[in-house]
């Protein structure tokens, strides 16, 4: 049963919200101690919520779009009365005093929030190994990283201990773990979803998005969380499509669709991954899609551009963690990667270096955005690998640049502000591989349609 079918069955009294939740609680108790996807759970409150939803359904009262579905939330998104730690000792004792906009919208649509998921500390990582709660294991490839920074959310969905989960994506933090864990992950266009209540990593990149086992779940969550928020300055007043309606008949979505295939995306990816993605593209061609071969000459510029801007924005965002208002002073308790980014951001922010590094990075970003917009001019989507290499084993010591290399294909969407997603494409000796779709700004619906159409080919 897919997410949309389950949602309908709960509304139709064929399945209760309580039964759905109880099944997940049993699975959480069995699985979570092994994989460490959830770092905080509130099952009693969730049970009360499920009973209340069932009561309203039994009375014939109207219920929301997410009625009875169980949702996990990344630990850098504010949820009232939950610990919102960003997986850092800095905020170890911080309890959310309010709901982020996306949380208010989920609750308003009767989604059941069961717990907070693990992540890289302050979202600064690609492996979910830097959390002060300890690493998360990959349920689809045990012993390997689940990706990051939203690894707990991806692992929770992959191990079927919740229906849906929220993550945040700064340079691939939804798509990277979605690829490694064999689930779907969607990063909306910049400004399509409110970031109010998100603990920033880099405010000009960050976007909240979702994980699901199927395209219907991605569509349903977008219907709930997308749209303007007058309280958050980066959101766009846009006409949000009905995503679930748009995928109702996805069988013919591939006919005539122009897929942009960028040579350089494949050149930097490992051969077994390339083979899987090329086979998937061939299947989409057979279903009626047209392939357009493209070149992107600025791929090597993307990582340094992204990280230079990331360092400066992260340094600025962390100045509020000074140990006076709440939490600990970040530099005194944070991990190695967070401290590295603070020091780099502090250095680059100095007046004598800002022009040499930061301002040039902003110029490079404008160039990258222009080039990507140009590539998308005559195609519907760009298609390629999500991550260029397979996830390493938990505990493997990597140099910073080796870790950053996971992000080379995902940072592009954040630099350009465009929507992007990862969808399962296959596996290499049991290790999942994801395929990435990227589209023009606010062409989010086109990607969701393609995800559904590709899912139908399986």
The residues annotated as belonging to the active site are 74, 149, 173
**SS3 letters for the chain?**
CCHHHHHHHHHCCCCCHHHHHHHHHHHHHHHHHHHCCEEEECHHHHHHHHHHHHHHHHCCCCCCCCCCCEEEEECCECCCCCECCCCCHHHCCCECCCCCHHHHHHHHCCCEEEEEECCCHHHCCCCCCCCCCCCCCCCCCCCECCCCCCHHHHHHHHCCCCCEEEEEECCCCCHHHHHHHCCEEEECCCCCECCCCECCCCCCCCEEEEEECCHHHHHHHHHHHECCCCCCCCCCCCCCCCHHHHCCCCCCCCCCCEEEEEHHHHHCCCHHHHHHHHHHHHHHHHCCCEEEEECCCCHHHHHHHHHHHHHHHHHHHHHHCECCCCCCEHHHHCCHHHHHHHHHHHHHHCHHHHCCCHHHHHHHHHHHHHHHHHHCCCCCEEEEECCCCCCCECCCCCCHHHHHHHHCCCHHHHHHCCCEEEEEEEEECCEEEEEEEECCCCCHHHHHHHHHHHHHHC
Asked if 216 and 163 touch (Cβ cutoff 8 Å), the reply is no
Asked if 389 and 396 touch (Cβ cutoff 8 Å), the reply is no
HSE of 79, CA atoms in CB hemisphere, 13 A:
26
* Cα 112–Cα 117–Cα 120 angle in degrees, nearest 5: 155
How many of the other CB atoms lie within 10 Å of CB of 456?
Answer: 14
Q: Identify the bridge partners of residue 381 per DSSP, sorted by sequence position.
A: 259
**N-terminal to C-terminal alpha carbon distance within the chain:** 16
Which positions ≥6 away from 309 have C-beta within 8 Å? 202, 204, 205, 358, 361, 362, 365
φ, ψ of residue 117 to 5 degrees: the values are -100, 160
């Amino acid at each position: 049963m897919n997410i949309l079918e389950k949602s309908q069955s709960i509304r139709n009294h064929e399945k209760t919200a309580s039964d759905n939740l109880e099944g997940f609680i049993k699975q959480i108790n069995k699985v979570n101690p092994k994989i460490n996807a959830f770092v905080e759970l509130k099952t009693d409150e969730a049970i009360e919520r499920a009973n209340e939803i069932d009561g309203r359904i039994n009375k014939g009262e109207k219920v929301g779009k997410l009625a009875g579905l169980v949702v996990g939330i990344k630990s850098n998104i504010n949820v009232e009365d939950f610990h919102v730690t960003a997986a850092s000792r800095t905020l170890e004792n911080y309890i959310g005093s309010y709901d982020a906009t996306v949380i208010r919208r989920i609750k308003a649509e009767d989604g059941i929030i069961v717990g907070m998921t693990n992540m890289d500390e302050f979202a600064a990582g690609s492996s979910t190994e830097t959390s002060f709660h300890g690493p998360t294991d990959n349920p689809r490839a045990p012993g390997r990283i689940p990706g990051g920074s939203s690894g707990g959310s991806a692992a929770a969905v992959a191990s079927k201990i919740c229906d849906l989960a929220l993550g945040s994506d700064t340079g691939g933090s939804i798509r990277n773990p979605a690829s490694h864990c064999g689930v779907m992950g969607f990063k909306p266009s910049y400004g399509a979803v409110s970031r109010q209540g998100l603990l920033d990593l880099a405010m000009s990149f960050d976007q909240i998005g979702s994980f699901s086992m199927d395209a219907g779940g991605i569509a349903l969550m977008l219907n709930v969380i997308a749209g303007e928020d007058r309280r958050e300055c980066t959101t766009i007043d846009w006409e949000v499509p009905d995503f679930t309606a748009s995928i109702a008949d996805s069988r013919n979505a591939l006919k005539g669709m122009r897929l942009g295939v960028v040579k350089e995306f494949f050149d930097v990816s490992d051969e077994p991954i390339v083979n899987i993605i090329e086979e998937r593209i061939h299947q989409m061609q057979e279903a009626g899609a047209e392939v357009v071969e493209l070149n992107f000459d600025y791929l090597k510029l993307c990582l340094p551009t992204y990280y230079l801007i990331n360092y400066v924005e992260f340094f600025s965002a962390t100045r509020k963690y000074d140990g006076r208002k709440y939490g600990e002073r970040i530099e005194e308790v944070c991990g190695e990667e967070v401290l590295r980014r603070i020091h780099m951001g502090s250095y680059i922010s100095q007046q004598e270096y800002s022009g040499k590094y930061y301002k040039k990075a902003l110029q490079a970003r404008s160039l990258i955005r222009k080039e990507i917009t140009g590539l998308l001019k005559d195609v519907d989507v760009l298609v390629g690998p999500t991550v260029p290499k397979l996830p390493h084993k938990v505990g493997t010591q990597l140099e910073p640049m080796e870790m950053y290399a996971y992000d080379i294909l995902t940072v592009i969407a954040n630099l350009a502000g465009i929507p992007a997603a990862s969808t399962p494409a296959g596996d290499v000796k049991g290790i999942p591989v994801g395929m990435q779709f990227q589209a023009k700004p606010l062409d989010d619906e086109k990607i969701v349609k393609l995800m559904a159409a590709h899912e139908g080919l399986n």
